Amino acid sequence: MRATEPPRTEIVFPDPRETPEPGIVAVGSDFRAGTLLQAYRRGIFPWPHGPHVLWFSPDPRAILPLEHELHWSRSLRRTLRKHPFEVTVDEAFTEVMKSCGSTRDATWITPSLARGYTTLHGLGWAHSVEVWERHGEERELVGGIYGVAIGSLFAGESMFHTRTDASKIAFATLAERLRRNGFTLFDVQVMSDHLASLGCIDVSRNEYLRRLGHALDVDAVF
């Protein structure tokens, strides 16, 4: 099932290559689906800071390389083989995003931003991986990750966990799915110790934009 293109908006983003440090490309609060897609296609993502919404194209840019076989740590490989959770895809996008927004360091997931990504999900552009803990006939959402897929780009936005390793399971499941389905670029935006432990690396903005141009020309199905 192919994603549906939303109506174009009047917003035009500048070329990120002409953006000085620290990578702020624009300021504004337009989270319509057409605006969000245009931003990702130009290597830009929104990140609200206080009263302002800043649109970034950072240098360097963090990615998980997909061109080679993925190598997880020994402990994560063991966790992926033996864990008590259920893992699903696109079953609870709104709940995953809400849970990501409830974490202490995810204050940028505002209600208006969430509506924009929920619209993208309804159009087939945004996706989630969910991790569940079963309690008899009921199950509890204990981890997940969401992001945007365009061509063979997947732009990861945020992840959360309320059980040990649940976000790592979501991340690894997503990465394996992307590689298996022909995705060439897994963007994770800004490096952290957690992302580095999962095998993510930094590349220059120019290198990221080069990879992005290729990824947008390659058709992959999430």
- pLDDT, tens digit, for every residue of 128-149? 999 999 999 999 999 999 999 9
Q: What is the pLDDT of residue 105?
A: 60
Q: CA 120, 161, 125 angle in degrees (round to 5)?
A: 15
The pLDDT tens digits of the residues spanning 101-128 come to 886 565 668 888 999 999 999 999 999 9
> d(Cα 206, Cα 107) in Å, to the nearest integer?
29
The pLDDT tens digits of the residues spanning 54-86 come to 999 999 999 999 998 999 999 999 999 999 999
What CATH number corresponds to the domain at position 91? 3.40.630.70
In a domain, 221, yes or no: no
Share of the chain above pLDDT 70, in %: 97
> d(Cα 24, Cα 46) in Å, to the nearest integer?
10
Q: What is the pLDDT of residue 51?
A: 74
Surface-to-core class of residue 139, CB atoms within 10 Å of its CB (0-12 exposed, 13-18 middle, 19+ buried): middle
In a domain, 16, yes or no: no
In a domain, 22, yes or no: no
In a domain, 44, yes or no: no
In a domain, 51, yes or no: no
59 Cβ contact partners less than 8 Å away, ≥ 6 residues apart = 21, 23, 204, 205, 206
Helical H runs in 92-159?
93-101, 111-123
Mean pLDDT score of the chain: 94
In a domain, 14, yes or no: no
How many domains does the chain fold into?
A: 1
In a domain, 111, yes or no: yes
For residue 142, the enclosing domain spans 61-216
In a domain, 178, yes or no: yes
